[in-house]
């Protein structure tokens, strides 16, 4: 399941960082009502940021290309990222700030999110490359199209693998999908001409059209479907006592980046390890503690 020792290199994660206010509640309040949270905390989130932190905890050399900006909240985000060993490449334009999200996690671990919009945030690309020469692979989450396009173009020109985190469809994916080495999509991801297809049909159609090394779809607690040139396989999702599913998909992406492009696992093996890591993260509050426990277990082993 290994392709051998890979040369040292950094992982670039390109996309969104958020500031999350998380409430743990048994049930959501009714409209106009009030309820007391069992617990609340403030944290850094976002697809690219969570994945970057995950890979860094596992031992990767990580840089996050995102939008932070200036002020107390961006400074808080910088502190959290730095504490987890994540390098920061801030491409915030004038007055840009990270989105702020309010998140409710209910008794079954499901989360509900209300977030400010990031689509009109100004991005400053500058003259400095986003993808250094020593990059082993990049992950792009589709947020901030200017950053996504630039990272994909630079990585593609240098022959550096491009991993796509495909959540909700965004127009920029039409440019990114043909360039991707690895595509990991959620069950609701649909290109415009595939909206009538089921998730199982979509992952097959995307693989056949663009022929990445790996094309996979995650389906919550159901099996993950992965397709490579060796055919299709299903990866069981461990049935755990989930107390918080927030960030589980991001943990999967960060774990896959580490396993595939740092540890040297072949695609399906790296994905299998990442799926197990994401399941484990659901047994703990937030998107960090399960990863930290897994990293400590590996070091002890």
SS (H, E, C) 219-250: ECCEEEEEEECCEEEEECCCCCCCCCCCCHHH
b (16+ CB within 10 A) / e for 97-120? bbbebebbbeeebebeeebeebee
Residue-level pLDDT, tens digit, the chain, 301 residues = 655 555 568 999 999 999 999 888 888 888 888 888 888 888 999 999 999 999 999 999 999 999 999 999 999 999 999 999 999 999 999 889 899 988 888 877 777 888 887 777 889 998 889 999 999 999 999 999 999 999 999 999 999 999 999 999 999 999 999 999 999 999 999 999 999 999 999 999 999 999 999 999 999 889 999 999 999 999 999 887 777 777 899 999 999 999 999 999 999 999 999 999 999 888 887 778 889 888 887 766 5
Inter-helix orientation angle 289-300/248-261, to 10°: 30
Q: What confidence score (pLDDT) does residue 301 get?
A: 57
Q: What confidence score (pLDDT) does residue 39 get?
A: 85
Question: Can you state the percent helix, strand and coil of the chain, rounding each to 5?
Answer: 35, 25, 40
Cα(98)–Cα(48) distance, rounded to whole angstroms? 13
Instruction: Name residues whose C-beta falls within 8 Å of residue 66's C-beta, 6 or more positions apart in sequence.
Output: 13, 14, 15, 16, 17, 46, 48, 49, 88, 89, 90, 91, 98, 144, 147
Q: What confidence score (pLDDT) does residue 26 get?
A: 83
């Amino acid at each position: 399941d290994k392709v051998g020792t890979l040369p040292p290199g950094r992982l670039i994660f390109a996309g969104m960082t958020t500031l999350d206010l998380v409430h743990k509640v048994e049930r959501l309040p009714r409209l106009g009502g009030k309820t007391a949270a069992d617990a609340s905390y403030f944290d850094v989130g976002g697809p690219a940021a969570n994945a970057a932190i995950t890979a860094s905890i596992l031992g990767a050399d990580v840089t996050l290309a995102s939008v932070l900006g200036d002020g107390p909240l961006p400074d808080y985000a910088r502190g959290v990222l730095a504490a987890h060993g994540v390098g920061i490449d801030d491409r915030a334009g004038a007055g840009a700030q990270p989105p702020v999200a309010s998140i409710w996690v209910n008794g079954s671990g499901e989360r509900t999110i209300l977030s400010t919009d990031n689509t009109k945030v100004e991005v400053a690309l500058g003259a400095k490359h986003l993808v250094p020469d020593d990059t082993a692979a990049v992950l792009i989450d589709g947020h901030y199209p200017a950053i996504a396009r630039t990272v994909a173009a630079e990585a593609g020109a240098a022959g550096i693998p491009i991993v796509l985190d495909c959540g909700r469809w965004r127009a920029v994916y039409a440019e990114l999908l043909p360039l991707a080495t690895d595509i990991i999509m959620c069950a609701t991801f649909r290109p415009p001409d595939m909206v009538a297809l089921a998730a199982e049909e979509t992952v097959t159609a995307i693989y056949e059209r663009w022929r990445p090394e790996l094309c996979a779809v995650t389906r919550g607690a159901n099996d993950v479907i992965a397709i490579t040139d060796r055919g299709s396989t299903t990866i069981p999702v461990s049935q755990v006592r989930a107390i918080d599913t927030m960030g589980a998909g991001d943990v999967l992406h960060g774990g896959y980046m580490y396993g595939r492009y740092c540890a040297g696992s072949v695609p399906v093996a790296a994905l299998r390890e990442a799926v197990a890591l994401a399941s484990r993260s659901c047994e703990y509050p937030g998107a960090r503690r399960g990863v930290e426990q897994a990293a400590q277990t590996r070091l002890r082993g």
